[in-house]
Amino acid sequence: MGEVDLSQVRPYGDSLDDGLVQLSFTLPVPFGGKAKEAARQLSLGMGLLEPNVVHAADLGEGFSFFVVYARTPCSVDFDTLKADRAAETVMGKTEIELHYLAKFRRKPVILGACIGTDAHTVGIDAIMNMKGYNGHKGLEAYHGLAAVNLGAQVSSEEVVVRARELNADAILVSQVVTQKNIHLANLTRLAELLEAENMREKTVLVVGGPRISHRLAKELGYDAGFGPGTYAEDVATFVVQELERRNFIQWGEEKWKQ
């Protein structure tokens, strides 16, 4: 392999800098030769070069699925990029407990829920529940944290009510269902309710899910966003650092009355 020019990074397929990519998509057209040509033409319209439909399948009811190999002329300047992540360095569970939680006068209360009609609890459970996921303990296992998991299909209104009742310092919401951008509507609703109740400035607001990025979360008015591959320590690192930045150590028990 030759030396990589980081100012012009392209996808790698068979050889360095060849720009080969693979993409898949579904078209609402009946399966057949005409459908394959539609997939090829669509790929050309995307600016891809030499598209080749290497797989096609009939999904039934007038829908067809395609896998296309092609080349892209695009490149990125890797040296100028910044990572889209909440925390640059992630701490381990022990480090968080020893170096941050020991400083706080009371346990930070972290509230978690799947909001709206979302019934998928795998993500929020992996972050909140004591057993965690893949050998990574959840927030319930962290000494010095009070983690409360409300579960699935919790309305934004209920989240706000419980946050006030529990004097929550951070709210973690999970959004897995993304059809027709329902996750955007749900997340916007929660942020607006917190603003209306004058609770937003004193609440660390975090969202996670398969279609979530830190950049998207910030655009929606959240403090951080986490996508696939996130563990409890990723979220905990951000939350405790953000609480310290906001002088959580000085926060009293009756913060909503201030």
So which residues are the catalytic ones? 131
Say if residue 13 is exposed, middle or buried (CB neighbours under 10 Å; 0-12, 13-18, 19+). middle
3-class SS of residue 224: strand
Which two three-digit tokens encode residue 183? Answer: 């996750």
Question: What angle, rounded to 10 degrees, do the helices at 182-196 and 156-166 form?
Answer: 40
- The answer to whether residues 209 and 175 touch, using CB atoms and an 8 Å cutoff, is yes
Measure CA of the first residue to CA of the last residue in the chain; give whole Å.
62
Q: What are phi and psi of 185, to 5 degrees?
A: -65, -45
Rounded Cα distance between 136 and 231, Å, is: 7
Which run of H or E residues covers position 62?
none
Beta-carbon count within 10 A of 94 CB: 11
What sign does the CA torsion over 7, 10, 12, 16 have?
A: negative
Instruction: Provide the 8-state DSSP code for 7.
Output: T
Q: What are phi and psi of 111, to 5 degrees?
A: -105, 130
3-class SS of residue 234: helix
Q: DSSP for 129-174, please give it.
A: STT-BTTB--GGGSTT-EEEE--SSB-HHHHHHHHHHHT-SEEEEE
